[in-house]
C-alpha cells in the first residue's frame, strides 16, 4: 500500500482485493498504535480469495518485533492438552514483553599481553594487558583471575576481545584485519574483524522481546528452555502463570518492562466449538490481550458443539465485537496478474496463449487448482525440452490432474466401483 493507506493494484505480491486490503491497512495502523488490543477482526470470504495472504501481509508489515502466531482452528484438538490450554498457550504466544539488559564492557584490540610468573614458583602471576581502539590506547594491570581467563581463551596480540566488567568474562570476537598477513595458514574458525572504534569502555544495551508463553515454559520445569525447542510443552500449571503475571506487572510498575500485544491469527475458525468461543470471549477482555484475527470461508453454519446455526459458525455475541472484513472472488484481470506473479515465483515461462487458457481455467474451476497447474505444466514442458509452457502442456496436465468439480463428477458416476461404497450415502462435498 502507499502511505495514504490506499492499496496499489499490484504491490508486494498482493493483487486486487482492494477493499479488503484497504480495510486491513486501517486495522494494521490501529494495531501499530495499540488502539485495538483485545478487539478481534474477522476475514470472511469464499475459498481462494486471499484471506490467509492478507493475514500474512499484516504479519510482515508489523515487523520482527511484534509477536505473530498463526494457527488453524483444528489444531486446538489434541490428545496432549485440553482445548482451553491450547488456546491459552496460543494467546500467550502472541503477547510479548520487552526488556532491556545492560552491561559495561571493555572492547578493543589486544596490542600486547605481558605475564610474569613469580620467580619463586609460588604466588600469584602478575601481568599487563595493552588494549587499543582506533582512537585510544591504554594499559591494564591484570589480577590472577583475569590472567587465567585470558590464558584459557588463548588471547594473543592482534585478537579483538570483549571483557565484561561485571563478570570478568572474556570473549574473542576475532582477529584484527591489520594482522591478517601475520601467518600464511590459519585455522578454519578464524574470523577477521575490524579494530573497534570509539572508547574502550562501552555500555552495551540489548533490548529483548520474549513472549509470555516462552516465559511460562522456561519456568514450568527444569530445563524448560529445552521444551521450547522440542515443542513438547505440555500443560502449564496456573500457579506458574499467576506468578509470572505478578512478576511482569511488578516490572511494568518499576519501568523495567513493556507489554507488546501481538496478533493471533486463527484460520478455519469455524472448527472451534462453543466452549472455545466462550473462552475466547473472556480471554479477550484481559488488558494484555492480543489482537485476534480470524478467518473463515463458511457461510451460515452450525456452531460446533451446538445445534444452532449462525453466520460463519461463530456465536453472535462474539461476532458483535468483531470488525468484519469481507473478501470477494477475483475477477479476470486480477486472476491473470496473480497467475503471472506465481509463474515468476516458480520460475516458469509461459506463452501468452497458455496464460489466457490458464486464466480461464482459474475462473471456471478455482484459483488454487490453476496455481497447481503452473508447476506441473512447467515440469512437463521441461521434460519435452521446451523453454516455455504452451497450450499443449496446459491441456496435458489439465487432463491428468482433476479439479474438485470434475473429481466429484467422476465419483458420482463411478461410485459403485469404489471400495466401501454404500448406497444412498449422501456425500457432503466440503469446499477446500
SS3 sequence of the chain: CCCCCCCCCEECCEECCHHHHHHHHHHHHHHHCCCCCCCEEEEEECCCCCHHHHHHHHHHHHCCCCCEEEEEHHHHCCCCCCHHHHHHHHHHHCEEEEEEEEEEEEEEEEEEEEEECCCCCCCCCEEEEEEECCCCEEEEEECHHHHHHHHHCCCCCCEEEEEECCCCCEEEEEEEHHHCCCCCCCCCCCCEECCCCCCCEEEEEEEEEEEHHHHHHHHHCCCHHHHHHHCCCCCCCHHHHHHHHHHHHHHHHCCCEEEEECEEEEECHHHCEHHHHHHHHHHCCCCCCCEEEEEECCCEEECECCCCEEECCCCHHHHHCEEEEEECCCCHHHHHHHHHHHHHHHCCCECHHHHHHHHHHHHHCCHHHHHHHHHHHHHHHHHCCCCCECHHHHHHHHHHCCCHHHHHHHHHHHHHHCCCCCCCCCCCCCCC
Site for another protein in 368-397 (CB under 8 A): none
Q: How far is the CB of 86 from another protein (least distance, A)?
A: 22
Identity of the residue, 130 or 156, whose beta carbon is nearer to another protein in the bound complex: 130
Q: Does 205 bind another protein (CB under 8 A)?
A: yes
Q: Does 405 bind another protein (CB under 8 A)?
A: no
Q: How far is the CB of 290 from another protein (least distance, A)?
A: 16
Q: Does 249 bind another protein (CB under 8 A)?
A: no
Tell me which stretch binds another protein (CB under 8 A): 97-105, 304-312, 358-366, 370-378.
97-105
Q: How far is the CB of 266 from another protein (least distance, A)?
A: 22
Q: How far is the CB of 100 from another protein (least distance, A)?
A: 4
Q: How far is the CB of 21 from another protein (least distance, A)?
A: 22
Q: Does 225 bind another protein (CB under 8 A)?
A: yes
Q: Does 287 bind another protein (CB under 8 A)?
A: no
Q: How far is the CB of 174 from another protein (least distance, A)?
A: 16
Among 8, 169, 191, 208, binds another protein (CB under 8 A): 208
Q: Does 139 bind another protein (CB under 8 A)?
A: yes
Among 115, 124, 136, 180, binds another protein (CB under 8 A): 136
Site of interaction with another protein (CB under 8 A): 3, 64-65, 96-102, 135-136, 138-139, 141, 166, 198-210, 214-215, 218-219, 225, 228, 244, 247, 251, 254-258
Amino acid at each position: 500500500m502507499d502511505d495514504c493507506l490506499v492499496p496499489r493494484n499490484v504491490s508486494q505480491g498482493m493483487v486486487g482485493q482492494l477493499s479488503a486490503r484497504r480495510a486491513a491497512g486501517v486495522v494494521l495502523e490501529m494495531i501499530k498504535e495499540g488502539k485495538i488490543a483485545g478487539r478481534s477482526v474477522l476475514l470472511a470470504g469464499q475459498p481462494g480469495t486471499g484471506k490467509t495472504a492478507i493475514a500474512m501481509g499484516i504479519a510482515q508489515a508489523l515487523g520482527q518485533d511484534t509477536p505473530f502466531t498463526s494457527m488453524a482452528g483444528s489444531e486446538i484438538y489434541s490428545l496432549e492438552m485440553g482445548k482451553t490450554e491450547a488456546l491459552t498457550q496460543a494467546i500467550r504466544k502472541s503477547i510479548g514483553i520487552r526488556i532491556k539488559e545492560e552491561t559495561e564492557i571493555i572492547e578493543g584490540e589486544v596490542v600486547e599481553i605481558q605475564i610474569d610468573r613469580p620467580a619463586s614458583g609460588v604466588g600469584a602471576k602478575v601481568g599487563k594487558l595493552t588494549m587499543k581502539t582506533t582512537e585510544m590506547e591504554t594499559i591494564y594491570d591484570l589480577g590472577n583471575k583475569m590472567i587465567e581467563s585470558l590464558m584459557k581463551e588463548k588471547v594473543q596480540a592482534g585478537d579483538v576481545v570483549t571483557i565484561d566488567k561485571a563478570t570478568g568474562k572474556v570473549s574473542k570476537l576475532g582477529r584484527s584485519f591489520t594482522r591478517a598477513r601475520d601467518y600464511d595458514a590459519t585455522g578454519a574458525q578464524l574470523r577477521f574483524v575490524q579494530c573497534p572504534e570509539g572508547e574502550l569502555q562501552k555500555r552495551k544495551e540489548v533490548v529483548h522481546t520474549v513472549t509470555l508463553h516462552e516465559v511460562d515454559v522456561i519456568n514450568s520445569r527444569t530445563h524448560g528452555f529445552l521444551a521450547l525447542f522440542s515443542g513438547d510443552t505440555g500443560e502449564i500449571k496456573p500457579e506458574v502463570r499467576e506468578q509470572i503475571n505478578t512478576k511482569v506487572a511488578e516490572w511494568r510498575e518499576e519501568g523495567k518492562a513493556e507489554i507488546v500485544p501481538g496478533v493471533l491469527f486463527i484460520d478455519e475458525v469455524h472448527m472451534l466449538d462453543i466452549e472455545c468461543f466462550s473462552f475466547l470471549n473472556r480471554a479477550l477482555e484481559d488488558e494484555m490481550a492480543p489482537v485476534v484475527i480470524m478467518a473463515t470461508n463458511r457461510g451460515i453454519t452450525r456452531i460446533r458443539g451446538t445445534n444452532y446455526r449462525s453466520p460463519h459458525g461463530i456465536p453472535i455475541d462474539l461476532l458483535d465485537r468483531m470488525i468484519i472484513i469481507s473478501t470477494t472472488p477475483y475477477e479476470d484481470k486480477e486472476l491473470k496478474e496473480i497467475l503471472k506473479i506465481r509463474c515468476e515465483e516458480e520460475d516458469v515461462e509461459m506463452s501468452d496463449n497458455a496464460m489466457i487458457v490458464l486464466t480461464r481455467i482459474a475462473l471456471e474451476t478455482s484459483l488454487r487448482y490453476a496455481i497447481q497447474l503452473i508447476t506441473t505444466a512447467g515440469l512437463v514442458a521441461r521434460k519435452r525440452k521446451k523453454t516455455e509452457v504452451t497450450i499443449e502442456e496446459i491441456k496435458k496436465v489439465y487432463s491428468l490432474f482433476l479439479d474438485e468439480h470434475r473429481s466429484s463428477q467422476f465419483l458420482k458416476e463411478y461410485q459403485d466401483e469404489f471400495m466401501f461404497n454404500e448406497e444412498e450415502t449422501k456425500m457432503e462435498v466440503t469446499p477446500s
